[in-house]
Structure 1
Amino acid sequence: MATNRPASVPDPSARLDLSRCPVPAWLPGGHTQTLYGAFCAQHPAIRFVRERVDTPDGDFVDLDWCSPGLDPHVRPDGQPTPHESSLVGTAASRWMEPADWSRLPANAPALILFHGLEGSSLSPYMQAAAHAFRNRGWTVAAAHFRSCSGVPNRMARAYYSGDSAEIAFMLDHARSRLPQAAWHAAGISLGGNALLKHLGETGHGVRGLRAAAAVSVPMDLAACGRRLSDTVWGRQLYSRHFLRSIRRKIFDKAQEFPGSVDVLRTQRMRSLREFDDLYTAPMHGYRNALDYWTRAASLPLLSGIRVPTLILNARNDPFVPEASLPGSRDVSPDVLLHQPGQGGHASFVTGMFPGHLGWLPARLLQFFDSGR
């Protein structure tokens, strides 16, 4: 699929799919679909085996693995998994042991998943995807950004939407574990933006990656940041939800790294713009929220992607204004844009009441199998 077309010359023949996601009539509107998918829709519960990986700067990231040959409840020696107090409250049942790696199929297809803001392998969309791909015989690695695996990371910094270097590190590590596997990648929301940014920056240099997908992605971070910070729904519902866990993490950071964060101001913040101004931007090398939103956005880099990539965004996503979505002239010919009218944010609930989250994993599998 890859071409030699310069990244600066987008191809207007790039594909745009407007086919619908069959969201049920009893679930109208983007807000309803988003909230129901996050808190009410049925999805399989899946357990993982966790690996901790040290990063070059002295921190760590956690990857949760599942595969048809990997039993999260039984160790490689056949003994039941002991109670792991360090994993309480996570989706992992035990830690990976050296003998576990031989139980993973060396040549089977594999998927690395990147979650969204304040997500983890416990997130419904991660659980649904991991379950569906494992049932198809795939190996799945659910990668956690720093501070999101249920354990505080070691540094004052955490994670952010433009951290393409972290994506590259986790991709390289996963491939090193199973170098013969047919690797694919999928990112949701924040994780999707970071993944697309990495693909756009790297172009032909993404080693060993067959295809990628990005779902419910805020590619224009400034437009999405304004939507979440300046609208009533954005401030009173979504920002309030995210800031609840973010404040706790920042308070812990301030205790461990005195002077790194203005605790009083962060405890008073009421929007994601304030959070990005006070913490994300200065902690990760940006001047302020607007500078961060501008420089970390993946939208300007989509024309440089040279890996077969699906970008899936519902046009009624309450986080992502429809006007901010890319068109075929904004992306390379290796990108398929799928923009159904319904689906909400990272949700795409389908089926009879009470609904389920099976449509999204099936859409990803379809793309990885056929390129459509």
Structure 2
Amino acid sequence: MPIIEQSEYDFPSIMHRNRHVSTIYAALFKKFEVPGYSREKIELNDGDFINIDFIENNSKKAVILCHGLEGDSRRTYNNSCAAYFLQKDFSVFAWNNRTCGGEMNRLPRLYHHGAVDDLDEVVQFVLKKGFEEVYLIGYSMGGVQLLNYLGWTKIDERIKAAVSISVPTHIATSAAELKKGFNRVYLKNFTIDIKKKLKYKAAQFPDFINRDQIDKITSFDEVDQYFTAPLHGFASKDDYYQRVSPEFSLQNITTPVLIINSLDDPFLGERCYPRAIAGDSAYVYLETPKYGGHCAFPLRNSTYSYAETRAYEFFESSDWAVH
């Protein structure tokens, strides 16, 4: 039932009706000032740490922002979203996955789409501050982590709702999509950044990471088969894709969550639009605008994007409150 057939985001400017223009503009050219965050380093049980940037603006309501692959708390989409929710009188917590946010972590482990243990550390950090209502927003990989968290974890009743934006709900088809045509430009940029981190890790931990394999990386196949899977306890790339794809955990979600995936997203494969699951769920809402690109959704005559304005609207809605 919660399939939103008619998205309000149907008429961006003509320029932004091109998927690549929207995506590249949002990633490279759109600028948004970083909020005046405080930062706290959270020590983890395994001896590592994560950094959380935050502004406590309201003692009752908070939103947690989850960034995408090779992103961090201060990416433009996070800055825009944080500013919007601060304006709406929310406290904002933007966390950094391990190796992200300008400081390399201590252990061989990096981050991945199923790193819900680290997200739970962030959630517990926020809940301990006494907020009555906590909301989650995730972009791309952060949206995967968010959905897996909701599907795999016993959720505190103070977590009221979530929004997952431009999210690859089926990782294998998304990875395959990035090998096609112009999409290979995005893939190349990702692999350049990932290689740099892996080389750093190989120098730190030569017994864990094979330096020679790093230069052979051309796609996510090599990244995930030779590094992501073995470093994080998965049997293989295919095992990793199967176990961390939200397609297989969405049916377990009992917290209201809105998925916003544009139909022109160059990162998303055909199985990243879980209509059947949303149609059968009382909690998983699916909105598929015709346009929007990847983590873009620019609005005419506004510095904000449709993603954060829609997320706020969903959080304030009474439609899911009956659950």
* Length-normalised TM-score, structure 2: 0.93
Matched position secondary structure for 1:187: strand
Question: Alignment partner for residue 199 of structure 1, among 139, 150, 158?
Answer: 150
Q: State the alpha-carbon separation in 2 of the partners of residues 29 and 173 from structure 1.
A: 40
Displacement, 1:168?
1.7
Contact 1:15–1:328 (CA under 8 A) maintained in structure 2: no
Displacement, 1:362?
0.9
Contact 1:64–1:121 (CA under 8 A) maintained in structure 2: yes
Residue pairs, 1:110-189, within 5 angstroms: 110-176=62-128, 178-189=129-140
Find the counterpart in structure 2 of residue 336 from structure 1.
285
Q: State the alpha-carbon separation in 1 of the partners of residues 131 and 36 from structure 2.
A: 25
Instruction: Tell me whether 1:286 sits opposite 2:238 in the alignment.
Output: no
CA RMSD of aligned residues (A): 1.7
The C-alpha deviation readout for 1:4-45, integer Å capped at 9, x for no partner, is: xxxxxxxxx233343142321122321221111111134344
Q: State the alpha-carbon separation in 1 of the partners of residues 291 and 203 from structure 2.
A: 43
Deviates more, 1:210-219 or 1:238-247: 238-247
Q: State the alpha-carbon separation in 1 of the partners of residues 2 and 292 from structure 2.
A: 23
Q: Look up the equivalent residue of 2:287 and give its one-letter code.
A: H
Q: Aligned pair in 2 of structure 1 residues 38, 371: CA closer, same or farther (>3 Å)?
A: farther
Q: Look up the equivalent residue of 2:199 and give its one-letter code.
A: F
Instruction: Tell me whether 1:262 sits opposite 2:210 in the alignment.
Output: yes
Matched position secondary structure for 1:162: coil
Find the counterpart in structure 1 of residue 175 from structure 2.
225
Find the counterpart in structure 2 of residue 18 from structure 1.
6
Find the counterpart in structure 2 of residue 345 from structure 1.
294
Q: Unpaired runs of 5+ in structure 2?
A: none
The count of aligned residue pairs is: 317
Instruction: Tell me whether 1:360 sits opposite 2:293 in the alignment.
Output: no
Displacement, 1:268?
2.6
Instruction: Tell me whether 1:310 sits opposite 2:263 in the alignment.
Output: no
* Length-normalised TM-score, structure 1: 0.81
Matched position secondary structure for 2:242: helix
Q: State the alpha-carbon separation in 1 of the partners of residues 16 and 212 from structure 2.
A: 40
Q: Unpaired runs of 5+ in structure 1?
A: 1-12, 69-104
Matched position secondary structure for 2:208: coil
- Greater gyration radius: 1
Displacement, 1:247?
1.2
Question: Alignment partner for residue 41 of structure 2, among 31, 47, 52?
Answer: 52
Find the counterpart in structure 2 of residue 327 from structure 1.
275
Find the counterpart in structure 2 of residue 252 from structure 1.
200
Q: State the alpha-carbon separation in 2 of the partners of residues 223 and 322 from structure 1.
A: 7
Deviates more, 1:16-25 or 1:308-317: 16-25
Find the counterpart in structure 1 of residue 17 from structure 2.
28
Q: Look up the equivalent residue of 1:191 and give its one-letter code.
A: G
Matched position secondary structure for 1:27: helix
Q: Aligned pair in 2 of structure 1 residues 54, 45: CA closer, same or farther (>3 Å)?
A: closer
Find the counterpart in structure 2 of residue 93 from structure 1.
none
Displacement, 1:267?
2.1
Moved beyond 6 Å, runs of 4+: none
